[in-house]
């Protein structure tokens, strides 16, 4: 019993020695900055046209932590960022809205688009990175500061921006709902991985690929078929098949039919309807007032 009494006395002494909590003044201020951010006109436009309808954040102000530190990059200029954001909304986001509905885009679209002013040049492969996607959450577009050079050339706009956008979005779709494994068996022995950069266009075509990059692996092959098909008209596609020769054209056509079935059955998207909408909106870029938000 004595040891318990001693323990109680010790606790009582400690209690007397401790300061009363009731006498402490509590600072109820937050350690975080809770003030509203300052927004310029472009920020307010992005809030209305990207954040509110799609929950997409467009980052055009330079934050080096957001980009690949292995490249020497420069920030995107404000004027070019404003123009490209308007074009992306009209040609990419609203094209899918028209075909599949805005709820489709709200659900599956990447939640961040990062704009970078310069190209990302890879000295090892002697290739320039046009865009990347990270886990279906972020798309990075490079070479934004050269937009005015391509503004009147839809082929160039597709090459530097929209082929990339459609390609990366295709990855999000097939990662969400996988395509048939039969697709990869069509040209299974001709995927070459990183050596795709050593292949010529005609070589790729004759082996059954729409671009050299499609030779990397099946996922890239499928994404390249979708992005190449919907950003080019039938005359371009026919010339590609002619360049591929009879065997290559047969392989490419077989893949396209599998892609057509996949998009229709898994997403209720008619790839030909999507192409018509994308091409029509692309042709209408010249009529957009890109100088005013």
pLDDT in tens, 119-139: 766 545 555 566 666 556 788
Residues 6+ apart with CB under 8 A from 170: 222, 223, 226, 227
Nearest CA to 160 out of 91, 235, 208 is that of: 91
**Which pTM value belongs to this model?**
0.82
Residue 195 belongs to a domain: yes
| CATH code of the domain covering residue 161 | 3.40.390.70
Residue 293 belongs to a domain: no
pLDDT of 8: 40
Q: How many angstroms separate the CA atoms of 67 and 46, rounded? A: 21
Residue 15 belongs to a domain: no
Residue 3 belongs to a domain: no
Range of the domain at 86: 42-287
Residue 5 belongs to a domain: no
DSSP state of 47: I
Q: Which residues of the chain have pLDDT under 50?
A: 1-21, 32-34, 123
Which H/E stretch holds residue 114? strand 112-115
pLDDT of 37: 65
Asked whether the beta carbons of 225 and 183 are under 8 A apart, the reply is no
Residues 6+ apart with CB under 8 A from 10: none
Residue 92 belongs to a domain: yes
pLDDT of 51: 97
Total domain count, the chain:
1
Residue 200 belongs to a domain: yes
pLDDT of 67: 53
Q: How many angstroms separate the CA atoms of 226 and 221, rounded? A: 9
pLDDT of 122: 59
Q: How many angstroms separate the CA atoms of 140 and 132, rounded? A: 5
């Amino acid at each position: 019993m004595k040891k318990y009494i001693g323990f109680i006395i010790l606790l009582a002494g400690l209690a007397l020695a401790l300061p009363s909590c009731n006498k402490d003044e509590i600072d109820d201020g937050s350690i975080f900055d809770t003030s509203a951010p300052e927004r310029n006109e472009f920020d307010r436009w992005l809030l209305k046209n990207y954040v509110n309808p799609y929950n997409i954040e467009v980052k055009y102000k330079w934050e080096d932590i957001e980009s690949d530190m292995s490249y020497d990059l420069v920030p995107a200029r404000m004027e070019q960022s404003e123009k490209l954001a308007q074009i992306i909304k009209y040609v990419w986001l609203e094209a899918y809205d028209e075909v599949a509905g805005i709820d489709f885009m709200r659900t599956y679209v990447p939640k961040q688009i990062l704009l970078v002013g310069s190209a990302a040049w890879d000295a090892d492969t002697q290739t320039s990175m046009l865009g990347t996607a990270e886990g279906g959450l972020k798309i990075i577009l490079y070479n934004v500061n050269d937009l005015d050079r391509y503004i009147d050339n839809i082929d160039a706009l597709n090459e530097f921006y929209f082929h990339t956008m459609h390609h990366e979005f295709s990855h999000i779709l097939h990662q969400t709902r996988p395509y048939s494994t039969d697709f990869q068996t069509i040209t299974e022995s001709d995927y070459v991985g990183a050596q795709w950069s050593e292949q010529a266009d005609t070589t790729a075509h004759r082996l059954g690929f729409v671009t050299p990059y499609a030779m990397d692996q099946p996922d890239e092959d499928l994404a390249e078929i979708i992005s190449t098909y919907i950003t080019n008209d039938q005359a371009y596609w026919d010339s590609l098949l002619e360049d591929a020769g009879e065997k290559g054209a047969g392989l490419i056509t077989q893949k396209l039919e599998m892609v057509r079935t996949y998009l229709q059955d898994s997403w209720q998207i008619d790839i030909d309807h999507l192409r018509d909408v994308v091409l029509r909106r692309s042709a209408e870029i010249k009529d957009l007032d890109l100088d005013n938000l």
